[in-house]
Amino acid sequence: MTSRFRTHMEPRPMPGRAARRRLAAGVVLVLALLPAAPLAGQRAARVPAGWRGFTEAFDRFVQSEGVIGGGAVLVSGGRSAAWHERGFGDREAGESADSATIYHWGSITKTLTAIAIMQLRDRGLLSLDDPIVRWVPELRQLHNPFGSTDSITLRMLLSHSAGFQDPTWPYGEGKEWEPFEPTRWEQLVAMMPYQEIRFAPGSRYGYSNPAFIYLARVIENITGDPYQSYVQKNIWTPLGLTRSYFGATPYHLARHRSNSYIIRRDSSGGTRTIAVGRDFDPGITIPNGGWNAPLGDLAAYASFLLGSAGGDPRRAARYDAVLSRASLEEMWRRVVTVDGPESMGLSFFLLEPGERSIVGHTGQQAGFRSLIFLEPKSGTAVIAATNTINRARGAASSADWRTLTQAAASSLGP
């Protein structure tokens, strides 16, 4: 695979007038994507010692997986402290992956849905212990061998402990007549009488995409806003995430949108790389996996999660208006154990190796893989995305991805 590699922590000089113009334009673009820099007199962002180890792990993953392109950013002290890009956002068009490249973030979208629910809770419009059927009565059609569906609460949906199935859609053979995901609410409602609760609600962890579609329905029923509009008005706009969107890419961002790729075995025993396309329609499933954005918007989001306002009181006030620090920390408390030291809070995975506490989420959809991990104590975060999934490698691909996510979590801290 032809690739281009770049990692940087400070600008590089470029000779010549034309080169200087290109550099100036690039700096303006990058600055537009970054969280606000610290005020004058404050210390520069700290780069943890583990960042280099993570970038090396990222490069190994890119090599073993045959990734076409991807990138990572380190957040420290309320700003983007280091960047690392590799390969192409679109190989066929010859477009390198860079700080402006827009990726699909998959299940990291669930954290937006959860924050929206917490906002409504803090405004007194719902309780986390409300039965989901209070807001989504259609769910009474589900077969629940463990008792009444009234026992399933919003808290259980947020913590993946409600007993709902995963994934959302029962088909996956890639036939032309199959939609990528259900496109309409009525389709999910029609399926409900033929689904059942898989385990006693609240008894254990069981990842569920549909749970977050139902939570989005709660948001819509209470506010009257479509889910996408609610997130735009109440999360993205106050946080300044100007290049985040759902669904089709806006025209003015189209040139930055990454293509996505899936590598499969062919009939000769070799492999072939299939370009899936720049846009796809997640349909009704947007609340569990529809966020599109460049790394810079995710870096700004991580700064909000960390409460790192860079000494700017106005920025701190915006953070608190979106969701209070107390409510965010509530989302990071263990609700149910996942495996070993890993547990689930309210939509966030929690890792507790020793005395450290790591919070985060990963995503995988339509050729894209993504991760965001943060350590609140040190105020650092690592965010990464790639635009290729290698189906030909099977379990080896999944194992290498787990290794990369572990490297991301391990890289945080002093």
Q: What is the pLDDT of residue 20?
A: 37
Q: Which of residues 223, 242, 265 is at a domain's end?
A: 223
Q: What is the average per-residue pLDDT within 114-120? A: 98
297 in Cβ contact with 243 (< 8 Å):
yes
Q: What is the pLDDT of residue 349?
A: 97
401 and 383 share a domain? Answer: yes
31 in Cβ contact with 296 (< 8 Å):
no
Q: Which two tokens stand for residue 162?
A: 């409600």
Indicate whether 145 belongs to any domain.
yes
Indicate whether 172 belongs to any domain.
yes
Cα(365)–Cα(343) distance, integer angstroms: 23
Indicate whether 179 belongs to any domain.
yes
Q: What is the pLDDT of residue 176?
A: 73
Is residue 174 predicted with pLDDT exceeding 90?
Answer: no
CA angle 54/55/57 to nearest 5° reads: 65
Tell how strand 261-265 and strand 388-390 pair up: parallel
Cα(240)–Cα(243) distance, integer angstroms: 9
CA atoms within 13 A on the CB side of 199: 13
Q: What is the average per-residue pLDDT within 276-283? A: 90
Say how many domains are in the chain: 2
Indicate whether 1 belongs to any domain.
no
Among 37-41, 81-85, 348-352, 371-375, where is mean pLDDT lowest?
A: 37-41
Give me the helices (H) in 66-209, please.
109-122, 132-135, 154-158, 185-191
Q: Which two tokens stand for residue 142?
A: 């589900």
261 and 359 share a domain? Answer: yes
91 and 137 share a domain? Answer: no
267 and 394 share a domain? Answer: yes
Query: 180 falls in which pLDDT band (50, 70, 90)?
Result: low
Q: What percent of the chain has pLDDT over 90?
A: 75
Find residue 73's DSSP bridge partners: 83, 383
Query: 232 falls in which pLDDT band (50, 70, 90)?
Result: very high
175 and 126 share a domain? Answer: yes
Q: What is the pLDDT of residue 179?
A: 67
Q: Which of residues 208, 223, 238 is at a domain's end?
A: 223
100 in Cβ contact with 33 (< 8 Å):
yes
Cα(191)–Cα(264) distance, integer angstroms: 31
122 and 101 share a domain? Answer: no
Indicate whether 21 belongs to any domain.
no
Indicate whether 9 belongs to any domain.
no
Task: Tell me the pLDDT tens digit for each residue of 131-145.
Answer: 999 999 999 999 999
258 and 298 share a domain? Answer: yes
98 and 135 share a domain? Answer: no
- Comparison of pLDDT for 410 and 19, the residue scoring more: 410
Q: Domain range spanning residue 179?
A: 114-223
Q: Which of residues 176, 205, 223 is at a domain's end?
A: 223
Indicate whether 369 belongs to any domain.
yes
Indicate whether 74 belongs to any domain.
yes
Gyration radius from the chain CA atoms:
21
Instruction: Provide the CATH number for the domain around residue 395.
Output: 3.40.710.10
Nearest to 113 by CA among 201, 224, 218, 4: 218
Query: 407 falls in which pLDDT band (50, 70, 90)?
Result: very high
Q: What is the pLDDT of residue 339?
A: 87
Query: 32 falls in which pLDDT band (50, 70, 90)?
Result: very low
254 and 403 share a domain? Answer: yes
Q: How much is the mean pLDDT over the chain?
A: 87
Q: What is the pLDDT of residue 328?
A: 97
Collect contacts of 89-95 with beta carbons under 8 A, ≥24 apart: 89/256, 89/257, 89/258, 89/259, 89/387, 90/258, 90/259, 90/278, 91/2, 91/259, 91/261, 91/275, 92/259, 92/275, 93/259, 95/255
133 and 215 share a domain? Answer: yes
Q: What percent of the chain has pLDDT over 70?
A: 86
72 and 172 share a domain? Answer: no
Is residue 44 predicted with pLDDT exceeding 80?
Answer: no
271's CB contacts (< 8 A; 6+ apart) are 66, 263, 264, 265, 390, 392
The DSSP-derived string for 157-189 is HHTT-S---SSS-S--S--TTS-SS--SHHHHH
370 and 401 share a domain? Answer: yes
Nearest to 257 by CA among 267, 265, 247, 266: 247
